[in-house]
Structure 1
């Protein structure tokens, strides 16, 4: 097993896959503000140790061309069992302070949920952070459940 340390400029394989647990989806929905970083608190893979569940950010352990995908799901309820309204969120994929991708997730009707997925390929320098943030006031709540739909954020290095 190769130990990978940040700043080593490794040409190693890098990939991560993360999602939001239901408890985190509920708490983040209740306190979400414009520009807030969305924290995907569970990882299924974190090769290269670039993704942090505590910050919600991926920090590139080496420079290269990366692919990133995020799926964002919304529920028209603001709380489990609560009144049904509309679910609507906007999210941005950020590289440092620059927007590199945008999603709009909208139930369009009451009594519904919806998911959207974005995919971006970009060059990322070693040490640069990539993350997902909320980009405007929202309605409803983040939908992410083990046995239903998951809100996810993943990425992998394609080449140097």
Structure 2
């Protein structure tokens, strides 16, 4: 991401838009919405990272359509930045929407 999400906007179900894209073979990822639309059914590897600071607790979820497929929980100590990375290997179908959102669980 090219910038931090302001705390006031880091609300439940907020889709994280990763606007700095290094690789997008097949143009399935849409950096304006943060959604990857699966171009061809098959097995894919999805990974995402985020960081948290100064006593904040947040969770992010990897979503396929409306189903939570994976989750990361981060809770940082005072004055400390921490980061986490999630990796999921999933079979997805052509046309499925895959995205990362802020979870209602970690707020």
TM-score by length of 1: 0.63
The answer to whether residue 2 in structure 2 is matched with residue 21 in structure 1 is yes
- Tell me, which stretches of 5 or more residues in structure 1 are unaligned? 1-19, 77-85, 139-160
Q: For 2:21, what is the secondary structure of its paired residue?
A: strand
Aligned to 2:71: 102
Identify which of 57, 62, 79 aligns with 1:93: 62
Aligned to 1:61: 39
Q: For 2:29, what is the secondary structure of its paired residue?
A: coil
Would you tell me which structure has more strand in proportion to its own residues? Answer: 2
Distance 1:30 1:53 in 2: 22
TM-score by length of 2: 0.91
Q: For 1:38, what is the secondary structure of its paired residue?
A: coil
Aligned to 2:29: 51
**Aligned-residue offset at 1:31:** 1.4
Distance 2:71 2:14 in 1: 14
Distance 2:46 2:78 in 1: 31
Moved over 6 A (4+): none
Cα RMSD, aligned residues only = 1.3
Whether the 8 Å CA contact 1:87–1:113 is kept in 2: the answer is no
Aligned length: 106
Whether the 8 Å CA contact 1:35–1:134 is kept in 2: the answer is yes
Aligned to 1:154: none
Aligned to 2:19: 41
**Once the two structures are superposed, what CA deviation does each residue of 1:59-102 show, in whole Å capped at 9, x if it has no partner?**
011111001111111122xxxxxxxxx12211110000111001
Q: Which has the larger radius of gyration?
A: 1
